Amino acid sequence: MALIQQVCTAPFARAVHPPSVAIFRCRAFSISSPASASQADPRVLLGMSEQELQQLASDFGQQNYRGKQLHHLIYKRKVKEIEDFSQLPQAFRNDLQEAGWKVGRSVVYRAVTAADGTVKLCLPWTLQLLIKLEDNRLIETVGIPVEEDKVSTRLTACVSSQVGCPLRCSFCATGKGGFSRNLKRHEIVEQVLAIEEVFKRRVTNVVFMGMGEPMLNLKAVLEAHRCLNKDIEIGQRMITISTVGVPNTIKKLASHKLQSTLAVSLHAPNQKLREAIVPSAKSYPLDAIMEDCRDYFLDTGRRVSFEYALLAGVNDKTEHAIELAELLHEWGRGYHVNLIPFNPIEGSEYQRPHKKAVMAFAAALESRKITVSVRQTRGLDASAACGQLRNEFQKSPLVIESDNLQSQSDVAVAC
Ligand code: SF4
């Protein structure tokens, strides 16, 4: 998904994402093999485990502890170039470089705050970063600081999983910008390190709600998840993977038994309305999604969170809330719904719902025993909707052939 629109967001996510944590996504089209090959770059250090780094050091005739030093330099010191690994012998550094190894960090092309255009490092300003990848593609990532109490502040990184997105949800700036390719694992991980560098503090939460549909790049997303959890030491429960729904991938994710949150972007209480908002829904009926979500809970013990972007006059009426509550009760209990009042994007036919409509929608759910949160809207003034900032700086169409969600999901599930 995308950057975070209000905060972060990916499509909506981008258009509407949560500062606190939640989710979104969707879509359809096909990816030819190059785009799907998002696996780890064979000679990139970032993303490798300590054990792999120790093996690498050993392969270069070094002692094991050199691998631990590599791990420390990459993940704790965040050193970006091998030549700056001053703790390592010059000969080892030379050998790595001559063999084509690199750290795998990219350049921050631009940083924008949601409030006043000034990067404020200590608080609650949402910060969007545009990161320029090796092939000159731009991706968005967002840092969202949230004060929890007087002494602690949560810092959430809303990360992208693809360059653009093929799913073209009707409300999403990222979807309107097209799709280019999947991100590699290190390109996902580096977004979190970039946020930590700018804020000068540790990221506490990660949400896969930036540009792209994570389930269409599941292999790289899972590899990045491992690295974020084990190497950067972010708890699994502090990580949320968001999806608009890609056939067969929820089961695949469940098989990994992660303790992270799965967030499913519904945006509508019935199939007909959902197809109008999320075109890819045609390939994944609502009943099938709900069945997979129920099974996900049975397999993992983790309840699915549902994202619902409120679009004025489209899906924000009390009758929609009642229908949504009935749908959720039909498939389980204890579900949580995160409401995201739509953040208008350029060229969108949708409008932001009135505050009264949002409150009435939330009240209708709560009165039916559905727990609800309403995502704060931050960043309305800073192209903060996911995908908008990237679109501003990279106008040329992203390349991709298209069409067929099934072929994409086949690729995703084959990991
Ligand atoms: S188009 Fe892609 S990035 Fe945008 S909301 Fe849909 S799945 Fe998310």
The pLDDT tens digits for 397-412 are 343 333 444 444 444 4
pLDDT tens per residue, range 202-242: 999 999 999 999 999 999 999 999 999 999 999 999 999 99
Residues 6+ apart with CB under 8 A from 212: 1, 2, 10, 160, 161, 162, 163, 164, 165, 174, 179, 182, 183
With cut-offs at 50, 70 and 90, classify the pLDDT of residue 66: very high
Q: What is the pTM of this model?
A: 0.84
Atom of ligand 1 nearest to the CA of 210: 3
Percent of the chain with pLDDT over 70: 78
Residue pair 315/285 in contact by the 8 Å Cβ criterion: no
Please give the average per-residue pLDDT across 266-286, as a whole number. 97
pLDDT at 17: 38
User: pLDDT: is 128 or 5 the higher one?
Assistant: 128
As beta bridge partners, residue 121 has none
With cut-offs at 50, 70 and 90, classify the pLDDT of residue 34: very low
Q: Is 247 in the pocket of ligand 1 (CB under 6 A)?
A: no
Which of 5-19, 24-38, 170-184 reaches the highest mean pLDDT? 170-184
CA of 278 to the centre of ligand 1 (A): 9
The answer to which of 121-135, 214-228, 373-387 has the lowest mean pLDDT is 373-387
- Mutational test site, ligand 1, from 162, 207, 241, 244, max ligand atoms within 8 Å of CB: 244
User: pLDDT: is 315 or 120 the higher one?
Assistant: 315
pLDDT at 315: 98
From atom 8 of ligand 1, which residue's Cα is the shortest distance away?
25
User: pLDDT: is 414 or 7 the higher one?
Assistant: 414
pLDDT at 387: 53
* Average of per-residue pLDDT values in the chain: 83
Q: Is 225 in the pocket of ligand 1 (CB under 6 A)?
A: no
CA of 12 to the centre of ligand 1 (A): 7
Q: Is 213 in the pocket of ligand 1 (CB under 6 A)?
A: yes
pLDDT tens per residue, range 44-57: 999 999 999 999 99
Residue pair 373/359 in contact by the 8 Å Cβ criterion: no
CA distance 47 to 365: 41
Atom of ligand 1 nearest to the CA of 242: 8
CA of 375 to the centre of ligand 1 (A): 17
Q: Is 172 in the pocket of ligand 1 (CB under 6 A)?
A: yes
Check whether 382 has a pLDDT greater than 90: no
CA of 286 to the centre of ligand 1 (A): 17
Check whether 43 has a pLDDT greater than 60: yes
Sorted by where each starts, the structural domains of the chain and their CATH numbers stand as 33-41+105-413 (3.20.20.70), 50-98 (1.10.150.530)
